[in-house]
Amino acid sequence: MITIDTSKVKQLESDLKAFSKRALPFATKSTVNTLAFNTMKESKELIKNKMVLKNKFTERSIRVNPTKTLKVDKQEAIIGSIADYMEVQEFGGIKTKDGSKGVAIATGYSAGQENQKRTRLPRKHNKIENIQLRRKSSKAKSRKQRNFIAIQDAAKSNRKYVYLDLGKTKGIFKVVGGKRKPRIKMVYSLSKQVVRIPKSPWLLPSTMKVSQTSNEVYAKALQFQIDRQKLFKGK
């Protein structure tokens, strides 16, 4: 529930009560809902600037359940996201491997940002769901031999992606440079069994920012009701 500081609007409350006590709940209801929808708007702007978004769903997942009651002590508007991963973004979490390989972490190279921190989504052809790995068994005994054969096979074929175990480093690599001098570029790291997802709050900072306007929003809601009552009285 949004807490409203009404210390600077006591006079407006008094004026409104002088016209009609029944109008006050409409002002508080309007204030609670306005602050909630403003928080939703601020949250959407924040995630657009702060997060790497796959599509518009993340923005559309932010919803408000406005208050409908005129009972002041029961008024509350709920804001949140219907997407489970947005809770992880807000509070942080842990991602564990799915299967025998480690957690897939896209590299800067996958997004065309080689040698720098990734800030964009992987390019379409580098998205993990679009990558097909060549399933060719090798009788090579050593890891080094298996890697060499996998790279050579990829360089000769149209499937340029391979899974390589380089010891401490494991991942999906793209083979580039042609058949004679093939080179590898890591597209996804699969070295970690568990990845801790740090907090990236979007709701709390939005709520804090909007709450600073609560006095102004409440004053406008009170003034609207006062003007409305004056209009009715005049008629």
Given a cut of 80, is residue 61 above it in pLDDT? yes
Instruction: Note the Cα 148 to chain centre separation in Å.
Output: 40
Is 111 in contact with 185 (CB distance < 8 Å)? Answer: no
Q: Nearest-CA neighbor of 78 among 35, 116, 46?
A: 35
User: For the chain, what are the domain ranges?
Assistant: 10-92+198-234, 95-196
Given a cut of 70, is residue 2 above it in pLDDT? no
DSSP state of 33: H
User: Which pair of tokens denotes residue 156?
Assistant: 């000769």
User: Which among 29-33, 100-104, 106-110, 146-150 has the top mean pLDDT?
Assistant: 29-33
Point out the least confidently predicted range of 15-24, 134-143, 163-172: 134-143
